[in-house]
């Protein structure tokens, strides 16, 4: 009911509305609740029920005995791409909501917004939390990492999009959204500190592996060389973890793109630790505690999801992404000569 009152206040007076809704019963109930709360049904010219914006399919029946196996496989494959038995992945839903956007905005009078020569003043979409996130991911070209950082909306919360006529694109209107802010997002990271040293036994083990690697350079021992390369990479990552502390960047979407390059924006939103899913945005904002910037070597945005070599390739290609201002001068003097970063250099930045 409250959502209907809120929407009635931002609805164009006397304007024509098209409603696009998921076919599920709970979205139909939500739409009826909006009418009951004050949304003027007389202004609704069309109700379009579309299965392309239904909730993600998680499988016909879920076998409790497979839960641990499914979660382990999901971790290995990646949550965005993993399909549970008889189910969809988030990537599958992304594909169908992309088709929905195309159908909505199609030109030549064939799109939902222009069909039959009707000009609508407002399009109201009644769908599901995960589906909304994937629709926004498509519209704003979020990376998988950014998508994963965004929380689902609460029941009957809404996001308002308005078209920027000058730039011909849609933007989130914070003032007319509820709650009035960017979609809440938190991204976990590891901050590597200069003052934290790795255990000596790890350093010695790494040195021994590198010596063994050198000894194999002139020998045709491909399998052994690959094994040692993998062991070195693993040890380098373990040393990074020993020298880092977990932090969470809150209100992540409020940072301008490319987000991981905006050092001030990142540091001003750091909360110590990971695993804050149970805390409210208001509670998290009270926990912000930025570390000493001069003690930060770089920010590891990937943790265990990327090899050490992969991290260093990204770091050296676009040093300003992961290096703080205190270490940029050192990075630029490094023999690898990092180049100027762009928004598309690293998909994690979007």
Q: How many CA atoms lie within 13 A of 334 on its CB side?
A: 18
Closest CA to 9 of 190, 168, 160: 160
CA–CA separation, 14 vs 44, rounded Å? 10
Reading the chain (350 residues) residue by residue, the pLDDT tens digits are 799 999 999 988 888 999 999 999 999 999 999 999 999 999 999 999 999 999 999 988 777 777 888 889 998 899 999 999 899 999 999 999 999 999 999 877 688 998 878 889 999 999 999 999 999 999 999 999 999 999 999 999 999 999 998 888 999 999 999 999 999 999 999 999 999 999 999 999 999 999 998 888 766 677 888 899 999 999 999 999 999 999 999 999 999 988 988 989 999 999 999 999 899 999 999 999 999 999 999 899 998 888 998 888 877 654 443 444 444 444 433 333 332 333 333 444 54
Name the pTM for this structure: 0.85
Portions of the chain given CATH number 3.40.50.1240:
2-172
Q: How many CA atoms lie within 13 A of 349 on its CB side?
A: 20
Q: Which CATH class is domain 2-172?
A: alpha beta
CA–CA separation, 83 vs 75, rounded Å? 12
DSSP state of 348: G
């Amino acid at each position: 009911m409250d959502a209907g009152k809120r929407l009635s206040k931002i609805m164009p007076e006397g304007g024509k509305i098209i409603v696009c809704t998921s076919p599920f019963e709970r979205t139909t109930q939500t739409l009826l609740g909006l009418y009951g709360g004050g949304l003027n049904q007389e202004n609704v010219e069309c109700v379009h029920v579309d299965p392309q914006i239904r909730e993600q399919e998680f499988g016909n029946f879920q076998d409790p005995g497979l839960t641990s196996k499914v979660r382990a496989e999901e971790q290995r494959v990646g949550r965005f791409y993993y399909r549970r038995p008889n189910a969809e992945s988030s990537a599958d839903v992304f594909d169908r909501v992309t088709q929905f956007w195309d159908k909505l905005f199609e030109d030549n009078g064939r799109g939902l917004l222009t069909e039959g020569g009707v000009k609508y003043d407002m399009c109201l979409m009644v769908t599901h939390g995960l589906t909304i996130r994937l629709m926004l991911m498509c519209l704003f070209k979020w990376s998988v990492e950014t998508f994963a950082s965004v929380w689902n909306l609460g029941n009957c919360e809404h996001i308002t999009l308005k078209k920027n006529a000058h730039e011909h694109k849609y933007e989130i209107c914070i003032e007319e959204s509820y709650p009035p802010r960017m979609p809440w997002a938190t991204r976990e990271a590891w901050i590597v500190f200069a003052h934290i040293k790795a255990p000596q036994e790890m350093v010695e083990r790494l040195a021994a592996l590198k010596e063994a690697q050198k000894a194999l350079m002139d020998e045709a021992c491909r399998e052994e060389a690959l094994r040692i390369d993998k062991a070195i990479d693993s040890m380098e990552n373990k040393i990074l973890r020993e020298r880092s502390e977990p932090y969470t960047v809150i209100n992540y979407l409020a940072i301008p793109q490319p987000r991981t390059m905006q050092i001030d924006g990142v540091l001003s939103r750091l909360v110590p630790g990971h695993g804050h899913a149970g805390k409210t945005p208001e509670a998290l904002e009270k926990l912000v505690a930025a570390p000493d910037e001069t003690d930060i070597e770089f920010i590891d945005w990937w943790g265990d999801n990327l090899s050490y070599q992969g991290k260093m390739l990204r770091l050296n290609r676009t040093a300003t992404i992961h290096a703080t201002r205190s270490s940029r001068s050192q990075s630029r003097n490094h023999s690898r000569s990092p180049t100027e970063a762009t928004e598309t250099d690293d998909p994690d930045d979007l």
